[in-house]
A = this chain, B = another copy of it.
Amino acid sequence: MRSDTREGAPVKAKRVPRAQREQQMLDAAVRIFSRSGYHAASMDEIAEACDVSKPMLYLYLGSKEELFAACIRREADRIISAFASAADPSLDPGEQLFRGLTAFFGFVAEHRESWIVLYQQARAQGEPVVEDVTAARHEVVTAVTALLRRGIREAAGERTRADGEDTGPDRGEAAAMAQVIVGAADSLAGWVLDTGPEPPEETARRLMSIIWIGLEPRLRGARYEG
């Protein structure tokens, strides 16, 4: 690796630690990929956007394919963290879901480019990138499933009828419920990006008004007020 530092030249810009420099490279890459698409984006363009040489970009993050995969992993981790960090086990499952969804829609609103790369471009790249996206989605589904299982357990007392039959969901049904919620949230996030921004709480409340209180009560005027 050659040194770019010349005697007497300002060295400040060169002293950025590697980890931080890599994050800057990823920021630039996500921006360029989301604008130009994977195929049209060039390593030259990305190197220029983060103000490093192309050899340094290759040295730090590998080929264009590897760079794209690194972008996907980082953005997927960020979305999972946004959702998970909003969770507060002291809250009831509905409130927790509302907060998680608000954090998720907030992330998508703020990181529009991450979403485009993750949801529109990553799927078009085939394996192994699709595998990373699938794994990330699975992680979110698992978190939602756990949340719903707690709700199912907590409501068990309310469900015990005189004849002993429990018509409520069982623990297995929580997985299907989680798929519904995650699929609905993905779809609604895309809709908000297409139709125009709104506060993330508002988007989360829309979704909760359907999945939590239900469309039938919603048509009659009920609204999720969390």
- Interface residues, chain A, CB within 8 Å of chain B? 93-94, 123-126, 130, 148, 151-152, 154-155, 158-159, 161, 166-169, 173, 175-177, 179-188, 190-191, 195, 206-207, 210-223
Distance (Å) between the CB of A115 and the closest chain B CB?
14
Distance (Å) between the CB of A207 and the closest chain B CB?
6
Extra contacts, 4 of them, besides A93-B219, A148-B215, A179-B191 (Cβ < 8 A), are A166-B221, A175-B191, A212-B216, A213-B216
Bound-complex Cα distance A207 to B166 (A):
19
Verify A217–B214 contact, CB threshold 8 A.
Answer: yes
Verify B221–A159 contact, CB threshold 8 A.
Answer: yes
Distance (Å) between the CB of A146 and the closest chain B CB?
14
Bound-complex Cα distance A161 to B222 (A):
12
Copies of this chain per assembly:
2
Bound-complex Cα distance A214 to B175 (A):
16
Distance (Å) between the CB of A175 and the closest chain B CB?
7
Bound-complex Cα distance A182 to B191 (A):
12
**Cβ 8 A contact of A123, one of B124, B152, B167, B168:** B124
Of the A-B pairs whose beta carbons lie under 8 Å apart in the complex, a sample of 9, sorted by A's number, is: A123-B124, A124-B126, A124-B130, A166-B221, A180-B210, A183-B186, A210-B211, A212-B215, A213-B214
**Cβ 8 A contact of A169, one of B190, B214, B218:** B218
Verify A183–B188 contact, CB threshold 8 A.
Answer: yes
Q: Which 10 interchain pairs have the tightest Cβ spacing?
A: A183-B187, A214-B214, A168-B221, A159-B221, A155-B219, A184-B184, A180-B184, A179-B191, A183-B183, A213-B214
Bound-complex Cα distance A224 to B170 (A):
15
Verify B207–A169 contact, CB threshold 8 A.
Answer: no
Distance (Å) between the CB of A8 and the closest chain B CB?
50
**Cβ 8 A contact of A215, one of B130, B175, B177, B220:** B177
Bound-complex Cα distance A202 to B155 (A):
23
**Cβ 8 A contact of A180, one of B148, B207, B223:** B207
Using known A-B contacts A124-B124, A169-B219, A220-B159, determine if residue A187 contacts B180 with beta carbons closer than 8 Å.
Answer: yes
